[in-house]
Amino acid sequence: MISPLRRIIALVFIAVGAATIAAREPLKQLALWDMERLSKAPEAEWGKTDGLVQEVFYRGEPMAGKPTRVFAYVGRPKGAGPFPGVVLVHGGGGQAFKDWAKHWSERGYVSISMDTAGNGPGKKRLEDGGPDQTHEFKFRNFDKSDARDMWTYHAVSDVILAHSLLRSLPEVDLDRTALTGISWGGYLTCLTSGIDQRFKASVPVYGCGFLNDNSAWVTSGDLPGMKDEARRLWARNFDPGQHVGRATFPMLFFNGTHDFAYPLDSYRKTIEQVKPDLVTVALHHKLRHGHIWTFEIVDAFIDSVLRGGEELVRLGELRVVGNEAVAPVLSKTKVATAELWVTGDEGPWTKRTWTTLPATVAGGKIQAQLPDERPLAFFLQAIDERGLRTSTTHAELMRKVEPTNHAAIPSPKLEQDFYDWHARHAAILRLKNEINPDIVLIGDSITHMWGGLPAAPGRDRGADSWRKLFGDRALNLGFGWDRTQNVLWRLAHGEIDGLKPKLIVIHIGTNNTSGTKNHKAGTPAEIAAGIRAVVELAKAKAPSAKIVLMKVFPRGENSTHPSRATIAAINKLLPNIAGELKVELLDITEKLLDENGNYPKSLANDFLHPTAAGYRVWAEALRPFVSLALKK
């Protein structure tokens, strides 16, 4: 599917542009695909029929002002219907596959397998075909004026028009259509899933987004070889990570642990763009990469959505509880057995050795004892009675911590707040490289509501002081209700990967003092250990950055408030941590309190979250560090 030369994957990760390009305003996404127009069935010329499969040529999108045609095979089951429909998208080096269309028509689906490389039957070039699928077309330099001549624009349009043609056939049930693609076809499936919301299910096989972060086309030099502005346009408009989050239907993400093109880190970022209740994941050990359309799991998933077939096992978020990996079983399908897959290796995903450990199924969840080895990457896998394997995404633990201290163990969202936690994380993954910040602020709601991007409309109390201090050079990684363990999860899941900030400001820990049904309040020592873990991980992810660790801000109206003593005890432990880790420690407690130790409403009207005036106090305290960092 990709030439042997392209399979040679360098061992050194190439950081694209981050070291030389200044912080900036993010590009606006172009409105490329006109769904109102593309949703209409294209003109079509039908060709010869062979059994259940018929040839068709349909009108594609213009290229350089000239009309194009697209070739496809359409498979029809015997009978009158209505039948579900499926759109089939080939990968690199592929073509419109007659046998793929036949496979689905024999299963009772009207199917269409189109060529996305401008070729006709037998991969013969059409005189009026669209752009070919070579990397010269995929990754050429371009600007806004010729974005619609790029291969990705045409390929996605070909898929949408194939769907429109399929839906125009009288035997197709318009409420039951699905999309699946392989490799580059999986890339196109992710993209199209966020654009054409007429589908009811999709399955990208191998393909994913965030290719500019880590993929075969970073290490091969294709993406780094583009001019900066063209690469920005490509990443903003043609990377699936920028689109797939708008999918409104169930998706199965199916990939292997060692895929040479679409590595697990970029794969997980792509999955995290989609609403969690729409996602089923299936990571398989050393899954073979190729034009393979006989994976039973793909057929079963589409059947389950479009024909009421038995569901696959769907697992919820992977969490670490004590020394165990735990994930809830969200579907009704019985789990026959379960496994924990682990690797202690680092470096390229293709080089890592994975092993299995036993897992148990009880009480509506899967759990397994984690080995002591660190660093450790792992995921849980469920096997149903058909032998079909689904999984969680992978997680990583970088250091050994006390298993009873939740503050130092990465955890996804714990509390509900005024915003969508997963959507904010997804937005950061999309925006971070485009902003390429000089300054990153990490924290909870106190940071969240200051200002900057991702925007928090109506909640950014300190937007004015943010703009004056940071301009467009900072990224806001504050999340309301977050605790240290949530920050650890977010950093482990890529929020500063690939960035080279000059300054990182960390303020976290106040929510660890609060107990809820989801979280037991931590002791000062436990919370300080969680803060240490956050600083250590930030240093590991961005080793060249200057780090300013804030002492935890006061909370409560006066000195008698119960939180004051706890926060004072936490802050007493921070000088040693800052000294050992060689980071700057900044304390603005006295600037926030009056001479009697009261927290004035003018600075925090709820005695916790700063007002605009309170944020100005913080801004002035940080100004010397910001000025020094930006001079470098």
Beta-carbon contacts of 110 under 8 Å, excluding residues fewer than 6 positions away, are 74, 75, 76, 77, 81, 83, 84, 85, 86, 166, 169, 171, 172
* Total residues found in the chain within this entry: 632
Kindly state the average pLDDT of the residues 71-85.
Answer: 96
Q: Residue 76: how many CB atoms within 10 A of its CB? A: 20
Burial classification of residue 105, based on how many CB atoms lie within 10 Å of its CB (0-12 exposed, 13-18 middle, 19 or more buried): buried
Burial classification of residue 329, based on how many CB atoms lie within 10 Å of its CB (0-12 exposed, 13-18 middle, 19 or more buried): buried
Q: What is the pLDDT of residues 472-523, one digit of tens each?
A: 999 999 999 999 999 999 999 999 999 999 999 999 999 999 999 999 999 9
Q: What is the pLDDT of residues 322-353, one digit of tens each?
A: 999 999 999 999 999 999 999 999 999 999 99
Provide the terminal-to-terminal Cα distance of the chain, rounded to the nearest Å.
45
Is pLDDT at 404 greater than 90 in this prediction? no
Confirm whether 319-397 and 409-631 share one CATH topology: no
Q: What is the pLDDT of residues 257-270, one digit of tens each?
A: 999 999 999 999 99
Tokens linked to 349: 């995903």
Kindly state the average pLDDT of the residues 314-321.
Answer: 97
pLDDT of residue 22: 66
* Percent of the chain with pLDDT strictly greater than 90: 93
The beta-strand segments (E) located in 1-122 are 44-50, 53-59, 69-75, 83-89, 110-114
* Percent of the chain with pLDDT strictly greater than 70: 96
- Mean pLDDT (the chain) is 94
pLDDT of residue 154: 98
Is pLDDT at 246 greater than 60 in this prediction? yes
| Structural domain boundaries in the chain | 4-13+32-306, 319-397, 409-631
Q: How confident is the model at residue 4 (pLDDT cuts 50, 70, 90)?
A: very low
Beta-carbon contacts of 142 under 8 Å, excluding residues fewer than 6 positions away, are 149, 150, 230, 233, 234
CATH 3.40.50.1820 correct for 4-13+32-306: yes
Is pLDDT at 77 greater than 50 in this prediction? yes
3-state secondary structure 440-496: EEEECHHHHCCCCECCCCCCCCCHHHHHHHHCCCEEEEECCCCCHHHHHHHHHCCCC
pLDDT of residue 399: 83
Give 124-127's long-range contacts (Cβ < 8 A, gap of 24+): 126/68, 126/69, 126/71
pLDDT of residue 20: 44
Beta-carbon contacts of 575 under 8 Å, excluding residues fewer than 6 positions away, are 585
Tokens linked to 211: 């290719």
Q: What is the pLDDT of residues 87-108, one digit of tens each?
A: 999 999 999 999 999 999 999 9
Q: Are the C-beta atoms of 588 and 544 separated by less than 8 Å?
A: no
Architecture of the domain defined by 319-397: Sandwich (2.60)
pTM of this structure = 0.93
Pairing of strands 584-586, 503-507: unpaired
Q: What is the pLDDT of residues 16-57, one digit of tens each?
A: 333 345 667 788 889 999 999 999 999 999 999 999 999 999
Q: Give the Cα separation of 515 and 512 in Å (integer).
A: 7
Among 183-197, 366-380, 401-415, the minimum mean pLDDT is found in: 401-415
pLDDT of residue 21: 55
pLDDT of residue 10: 33
Burial classification of residue 521, based on how many CB atoms lie within 10 Å of its CB (0-12 exposed, 13-18 middle, 19 or more buried): middle
As beta bridge partners, residue 585 has 549
CATH 1.20.950.20 correct for 409-631: no
Helix (H/G/I), strand (E/B), else coil: 195:
coil
Q: Give the Cα separation of 569 and 395 in Å (integer).
A: 32
**Phi-psi map region of 77: left, alpha, beta (phi>0 left; psi -120 to 50 alpha):** beta
Q: Are the C-beta atoms of 114 and 97 separated by less than 8 Å?
A: no
Q: Residue 584: how many CB atoms within 10 A of its CB? A: 13
Tokens linked to 623: 């100004």
Q: Give the Cα separation of 430 and 393 in Å (integer).
A: 19
CA nearest neighbour of 139 among 156, 154, 151: 151
State the residue for tokens 């949530």.
Answer: 486
As beta bridge partners, residue 366 has 327, 361
Q: What angle do CA 93, 96, 100 make, to 5 degrees?
A: 105
Kindly state the average pLDDT of the residues 368-378.
Answer: 96
- Using CA of residue 21, residue 27, residue 32, residue 35, what is the dihedral sign? positive
The beta-strand segments (E) located in 78-171 are 83-89, 110-114
Q: What is the pLDDT of residues 517-574, one digit of tens each?
A: 999 999 999 999 999 999 999 999 999 999 999 999 999 999 999 999 999 999 999 9
pLDDT of residue 14: 32
Q: Are the C-beta atoms of 510 and 570 separated by less than 8 Å?
A: no
Pairing of strands 44-50, 69-75: unpaired
Q: How confident is the model at residue 402 (pLDDT cuts 50, 70, 90)?
A: confident
Q: Are the C-beta atoms of 74 and 115 separated by less than 8 Å?
A: no
Q: Give the Cα separation of 469 and 508 in Å (integer).
A: 21
Which element (helix H / strand E) includes 265? helix 264-271
Q: Are the C-beta atoms of 336 and 304 separated by less than 8 Å?
A: no
Q: What is the DSSP letter of 315?
A: B
